[in-house]
Amino acid sequence: MGDENKRSRRRFKTWHVIAGLVLFLLALSHTTGSYKLRKRLQALHDQGYPITIEELDRSYTIPEGAANAADIYLSAFANFSEWDKADMNALRKAQSPARTESLDASDRQLVEKFLSDNQKALSLLHEAAAIEHCRYPIDFARPPDTDAPWLDNMRQCSRLLYLDALIHCENQDTEKALASIRANTALARSMNAPLLTHWITRMGLQSLVYRSIERVLNRLPLSDAQLLTLSGRLEEPGIKEGFKRNLIAEQCIGLHTLQAPIREVANRRYGKGMFLMLVPWKTLGLCYRDTLGYIDLMQDSIETLDLPDPERLTAFVAVQDSVRGSGGMLTRMIWPSLARLLDINFWHLARARAMQTAFALERYRLAEDHLPPSLDVLVPTYINAIPDDPFNAKPLKYRLRQPGYVVYSVGDDLTDESGTERGTQGKDSRGKSLPYDLTFIVER
């Protein structure tokens, strides 16, 4: 009996030792991980990065007492009147004539009816465009897909301004067409919240601005002053620096998610089934390693944006590829699809630079009554330097056409297709679309 009690006490003590050792190791893991994370977060804070949702919110502000364009924009979005599906499909077909072609009578009537039904929204959009500052009512702590339920109406309102410019082109009313383009540019710029969803929307709105300007240059004569004004409103830094700002904000939102209580993370993003997976992640201290790894990857991504254009794209894609191999469990789940977004960023940089070059070409044509044989002639009177193609760091391409010209980027495939426009490149023997360039074309 005595021997059995001794063995029982010995087993009991061994169990205690093992349990105590496990608890000690867990406590050590949490203490060490917490210390490393606090130190790293402080370093980010010292560099000026927002590390909490509250700091991110404070970074998105307007001067005290300033008028807020968002108040009027939200009213415009609320007043937007969408037609039924069949009519909207007919309208989409009507709004895409070739850059040199007029709307036919039935399409024009359809567009004018749509503009008439949305006259209140249109008026408010022009009113908001005259206000300098804008801050939308955004809660950065909410899931990214619910931060702005009015984004769809914003896209529709941008299309409304595009149609307004289209009709003014038809009427040969240059000033009103330019006013609609300026209003659409202001609407795109109003999307300055540090959120990737807003940046993506801004790029979509900017695409309609490009289409409007290309059509105006093909259809209407502009003065030197009008060309200079348009050129000044298409600032490249808004594309380039805006993406970096949104990555910094994305880092902050990711940190908020990684440090939130696991039940909140599960409920906000992945449902209750994720809760059981996150318990050991948190309990074993894996959350600290994951968060530190997330910071490393985000910082690597942010730092690549300071590299020259082609190097930036290559380095950025390499960082994104490394997420699959070095990212922790939750990091891989919350990591946004950033590689494609930088490609979109480059696409818009190329379009903006081609458009700026077209403004210089049109100013030269006004002064000399003919187009130049090469872009070199534009420097330095009409442009400081020939803009580089962001995809290969070489000067943008320029070709004369009959009539007009094309300014273009070779695009992400890096092949020069002599200014072949997307949609006109044809297909190979297997039915696959042939390569094309990123073009800005004037056919007059």
pLDDT digit string, tens, across residues 375-419? 999 999 999 999 999 999 999 999 999 999 999 999 989 999 999
Please report whether residue 42 resides in a domain: no
Q: pLDDT at position 181, please? A: 96
Whether residue 73 is found in the same domain as residue 218: yes
Mean pLDDT, the chain, rounded, equals 86
Q: pLDDT at position 259, please? A: 85
Domain containing 419 equals: 371-442
Neighbour-count burial of 108, counting CB atoms closer than 10 A to its CB (0-12 exposed, 13-18 middle, 19+ buried):
middle
For 133, residues 6+ apart whose C-beta sits below 8 A from its C-beta are 62, 63, 66, 67, 68, 69
Q: Which residue has the tokens 């590829």?
A: 321
Q: How many whole angstroms separate alpha carbon 60 and alpha carbon 290?
A: 28
User: Per-residue confidence at 88, pLDDT binned at 50, 70, 90?
Assistant: confident
Computed on alpha carbons and rounded to an integer, the radius of gyration of the chain in Å comes to 28
Task: State the average pLDDT over residues 161-174.
Answer: 95
Q: What total of structural domains would you count in the chain? A: 2
Task: State the average pLDDT over residues 203-216.
Answer: 94
| SS3 of residue 385 by DSSP | coil
Instruction: Judge contact between 178 and 228, C-beta under 8 A.
Output: no
Please report whether residue 282 resides in a domain: no
User: Per-residue confidence at 98, pLDDT binned at 50, 70, 90?
Assistant: confident
Q: Which residues pair with 406 in a beta bridge?
A: 399, 441
User: Per-residue confidence at 214, pLDDT binned at 50, 70, 90?
Assistant: very high
Kindly report whether the peptide bond that precedes residue 261 is cis, defined as omega within 30 degrees of 0.
no
Task: State the average pLDDT over residues 322-329.
Answer: 68
Which of the listed residues 234, 262, 295 is the one where a domain comes to its end? 234
pLDDT digits (tens, 9 = 90+) for 352-367: 999 999 999 999 999 9
Among positive and negative, which fits the CA dihedral 334, 338, 339, 340? positive
Least reliable range by pLDDT among 16-20, 67-71, 433-437:
16-20
Please report whether residue 353 resides in a domain: no
Pick from 380, 350, 348: which is nearest to 364 by CA?
380
Q: Which residue has the tokens 């409920």?
A: 267
Please report whether residue 397 resides in a domain: yes
- Angular region, 375: left φ>0, alpha ψ -120 to 50, beta rest: alpha
Which of the listed residues 234, 267, 287 is the one where a domain comes to its end? 234
Please report whether residue 105 resides in a domain: yes
Which of the listed residues 168, 203, 234 is the one where a domain comes to its end? 234
Q: pLDDT at position 366, please? A: 97
For 120, phi then psi, to 5°, come to -65, -50
On the question of pLDDT at 106 being above 70, the answer is yes
Q: pLDDT at position 2, please? A: 54
Please report whether residue 277 resides in a domain: no
In this prediction the pTM is 0.87
On the question of pLDDT at 314 being above 70, the answer is yes
Please report, rounded to a whole number, the percentage of residues in the chain having pLDDT higher than 90. Answer: 52
Please report whether residue 17 resides in a domain: no
Q: pLDDT at position 350, please? A: 94
Residue type, 87: D
- Sheet hosting strand 438-442, strand order edge to edge: 397-400, 405-409, 438-442
Please report whether residue 264 resides in a domain: no
Instruction: Judge contact between 169 and 219, C-beta under 8 A.
Output: yes
pLDDT digits (tens, 9 = 90+) for 224-275: 999 999 888 776 656 667 888 989 998 998 888 888 777 766 665 555 556 6
Q: Which residue has the tokens 């599960």?
A: 266
Q: pLDDT at position 316, please? A: 86
For 286, residues 6+ apart whose C-beta sits below 8 A from its C-beta are 280, 328, 329
Among positive and negative, which fits the CA dihedral 112, 118, 121, 123? positive
